[in-house]
Amino acid sequence: MTYMTTLREVKPGDFVKRKLDSKKVYRKGSYDKTTKSFELMDVEDICRSIFVKADKPVVVGFTY
């Protein structure tokens, strides 16, 4: 069951997408206190990661 939630409510290590129709999949990492955001690691490119604020909506519960 695919649904939207905030990044804050997702457990570390879970797979997320930033939009419903997005093809890129990320894995939630740790919290960075200096930027007050969570790390999202690209599952297809281990060198690529982005930092997203905790209140941003993300998609979870999809089949990967």
Q: What percent helix, strand, coil does the chain show, rounded to 5?
A: 5, 45, 50
pLDDT at residue number 54: 95
The pLDDT of residue 37:
97
- pLDDT at res. 64: 78
Q: Which domains does the chain have, with CATH numbers?
A: 3-60 (2.30.30.30)
Q: State the 10-residue block means of pLDDT for the chain, 64 residues long.
A: 96 96 96 96 95 97 89
Cβ-count burial of 1 within 10 angstroms (0-12 exposed, 13-18 middle, 19+ buried)?
A: exposed
